[in-house]
C-alpha cells in the first residue's frame, strides 16, 4: 500500500483496526487525545465499539471487560491518566487478559505539562501497579513504528495473555511521517477462554483472585515463566553503527532519532560512536548491551527523564563498562549538537579503560 503522511497518534488507531481491534475505551488527555478522536471515528466504521469513559479508571476496567469477552481492545492515555490506570494494569495482568495500551508520555510529576518527556518509564516498564506482574513494552521511534509495533503489540498480547504497552512520547504521538500500513486486515477469532455469554463458554471464568496461598503461588510462578519466555523470545532493538563503536549511546523513542543524528555528527569528527536503541523496553535487550561491552569502552544513556532507562543499562552491564548519563526534562529535548557536546566533554581524548580484573569477577559473579 502507498505510504501516507500520518500523525503518530492516528497511525496507532489505523494499525489497531487493521490488526483486529474492535473496542476502544478511553478518556481524553493531551498529548494522546487524537488517539481517542481517531478511534471514535474509525472503530464504529469497522463495526467496533468506542466509548468515552468517565475516567481512566473506568476506561481501563472497560478494557478488562472487553478483553474478558474476547475482543481485541485498546485504550490510550498519558502520564496522569496512566497513573490512574495502574489498578487496571495489575488486574489485567493478574487475570491474564490481553489488550494494548498506548502511553503518549508528557511532562510530570503531577500535572507537569503537556510537552514530551520519557518519565513514565519506571511506571510502565517496572510496573506501577501492585503485585508480581510485568507489562510487555514496545517503544516506537517513528510513525511507521507506531503502526508496526501496535500491530505486533496485539499479537504479543494474545500470545502472552498480558497487557502490552506502546510507550511513546509526545513527539512521536504528534508528529507526521509517511506510513505504509499492513496491506491486509485481520480479525482473529475470539480465544477459547473468553467469557462470551454463550453456551460454549458458560464454564469460563476470568479472575485475578486466588485465595489459597499455594494456588496463588502457582499462578504467580506461571506469570513469571511467561515473562521469562518473553525475555527469551521477544527482545527487539536497533543497533546502529555499533560494530566498531568505542562509545555506545543508548536511548529509545524520539531520543533514538536524535542520537542517530548525533552519531553522524560524531562520526564526521572521527569519533567511533554508535547507537543501541531498545525497541522492547520489557523484555530489555540486556544480552545485546552486555555483548557490546566486549569492545565498547563506555556507554552513554540519553533520555527525557532524570534517569530511569539508565538503571536498566547499568543492570545489564553490571559494571562491565562505565555508564554516563545525559538528560533533558520538562518538555525539552536535547539537540544532536547538545549530545555531541556532551559526548566530547565526557569522553575527552582517550577513553577510560575498564578494569580487567573487576570485569572478570563480574562476569562470573
Partner 1 sequence: MASYTVTHQKARAFYDTYERKAELQNQTHYCPGCGHGIVSKLLAQAIDELGVQDRTVLISPVGCSVFGYYYFDVGNVQVAHGRAPAVATAVKRSRPESIVIGYQGDGDLAAIGTAEIIHAANRGEPITVIFVNNGIYGMTGGQMAPTTLLGRKTATSPLGRDAMNEGFPLHVCEMLNSLEAPVYIERVALGNNKQIMHAAKVVKRAVENQVKGLGFSFVEVLSPCPTIWKMQPVEAQRFVRDEMAAVFGLCNFRDRTKEAQARPARAASPALEDLPRLLDLGNGSGEDAVAACPPQELDLRIKVAGFGGQGVLMLGEVLAEAGLDAGYEVSWLPSYGPEMRSGTSNCHVRLANHAIDSPLVSRPNVLLALNEPSLRKFLPAVEEGGLVLYNGSEIPGDCVRSDLRMVALPFTQLADELGATKVGNIVMLGALLEATGILEQGRVVGALKRLVHPRFFELDLAALARGRGEFRESASDDYLWGV
- Residues of span 338-357 touching partner 1 by CB under 8 A: 338
CB of 339 to partner 1, least distance (A): 10
CA 121 to the chain's CA centroid? 8
Q: What is the largest CA-CA distance in the chain?
A: 73
Could you say which residues in the range 113-152 bind partner 1, by CB under 8 A? 114-115
Q: Where are the alpha helices (DSSP H) in 114-185?
A: 121, 143-160, 170-174
Binding pattern for the stretch 45-84 against partner 1, x by CB under 8 A and - elsewhere? xxx-x-x-xxx-xxx-xxxxxx-xxxx-x-----------
3-state class of 87 per DSSP?
helix
Based on CB atoms, which residue is closest to partner 1, 274 or 283?
A: 274
Could you say which residues in the range 237-296 bind partner 1, by CB under 8 A? 254, 257-258, 260-261, 264
User: Which residues are 138's β-sheet partners?
Assistant: 166, 280
Binding pattern for the stretch 202-221 against partner 1, x by CB under 8 A and - elsewhere? xxxxxxxx------------
**Of 109, 110, 189, 198, which lies in the binding site for partner 1, with binding defined by CB under 8 A?**
198
87 binds partner 1 (CB under 8 A): yes
Contact (Cβ atoms closer than 8 angstroms) between residue 333 and residue 309: no
Could you say which residues in the range 168-187 bind partner 1, by CB under 8 A? 170-171, 174-178, 181, 184-187
All cell numbers assigned to 352: 577510560
40 binds partner 1 (CB under 8 A): no
**Of 21, 26, 27, 31, which lies in the binding site for partner 1, with binding defined by CB under 8 A?**
31
332 binds partner 1 (CB under 8 A): no
For residue 221, count other CB atoms closer than 10 A to its CB. 11
Based on CB atoms, which residue is closest to partner 1, 124 or 258?
A: 258
Q: How far apart are CA 198 and CA 206, in angstroms?
A: 15
User: Which residues are 167's β-sheet partners?
Assistant: 103
Based on CB atoms, which residue is closest to partner 1, 77 or 297?
A: 77
Based on CB atoms, which residue is closest to partner 1, 213 or 365?
A: 213
3-state class of 30 per DSSP?
coil
Q: How far apart are CA 38 and CA 158, in angstroms?
A: 23
Amino acid at each position: 500500500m502507498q505510504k501516507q503522511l500520518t500523525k503518530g497518534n492516528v497511525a496507532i488507531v489505523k494499525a489497531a483496526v487493521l490488526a483486529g481491534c474492535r473496542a476502544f475505551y478511553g478518556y481524553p488527555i493531551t498529548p494522546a487525545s487524537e488517539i481517542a478522536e481517531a478511534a471514535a471515528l474509525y472503530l464504529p466504521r469497522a463495526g467496533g465499539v468506542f466509548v468515552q469513559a468517565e475516567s481512566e479508571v473506568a476506561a481501563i476496567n472497560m478494557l478488562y471487560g472487553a478483553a474478558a469477552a474476547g475482543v481485541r481492545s485498546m485504550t490510550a492515555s498519558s502520564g496522569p491518566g496512566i497513573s490512574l490506570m495502574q489498578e487496571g494494569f495489575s488486574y489485567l495482568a493478574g487475570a491474564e487478559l490481553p489488550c494494548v495500551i498506548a502511553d503518549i508520555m508528557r511532562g510530570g510529576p503531577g500535572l507537569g505539562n503537556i510537552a514530551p518527556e520519557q518519565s513514565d518509564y519506571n511506571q510502565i516498564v517496572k510496573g506501577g501497579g501492585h503485585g508480581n506482574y510485568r507489562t510487555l513494552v514496545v517503544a516506537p521511534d517513528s510513525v511507521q513504528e507506531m503502526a508496526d509495533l501496535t500491530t505486533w503489540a496485539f499479537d504479543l498480547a494474545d500470545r502472552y495473555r498480558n497487557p502490552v504497552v506502546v510507550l511513546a512520547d509526545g513527539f512521536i504521538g504528534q508528529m507526521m511521517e509517511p506510513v505504509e500500513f499492513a496491506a491486509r486486515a485481520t480479525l482473529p477469532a475470539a480465544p477459547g477462554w473468553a467469557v462470551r455469554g454463550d453456551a460454549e463458554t458458560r464454564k469460563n471464568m476470568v479472575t485475578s483472585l486466588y485465595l489459597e496461598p499455594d494456588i496463588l503461588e502457582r499462578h504467580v510462578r506461571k506469570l513469571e515463566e511467561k515473562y521469562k519466555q518473553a525475555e527469551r523470545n521477544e527482545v527487539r532493538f536497533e543497533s546502529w553503527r555499533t560494530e566498531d563503536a568505542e562509545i555506545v549511546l543508548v536511548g529509545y523513542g524520539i531520543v533514538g532519532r536524535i542520537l542517530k543524528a548525533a552519531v553522524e555528527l560524531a562520526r564526521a569528527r572521527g569519533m567511533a560512536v554508535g547507537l543501541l536503541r531498545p525497541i522492547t523496553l520489557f523484555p530489555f535487550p540486556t544480552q545485546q548491551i552486555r555483548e557490546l561491552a566486549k569492545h565498547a569502552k563506555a556507554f552513554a544513556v540519553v533520555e527525557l527523564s532524570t534517569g530511569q532507562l539508565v538503571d536498566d543499562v547499568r543492570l545489564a552491564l553490571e559494571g562491565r563498562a562505565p555508564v554516563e548519563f545525559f538528560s533533558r526534562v520538562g518538555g525539552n529535548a536535547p539537540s544532536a549538537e547538545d549530545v555531541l557536546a556532551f559526548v566530547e566533554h565526557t569522553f575527552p581524548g582517550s577513553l577510560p579503560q575498564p578494569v580487567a580484573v573487576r570485569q572478570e569477577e563480574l562476569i562470573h559473579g
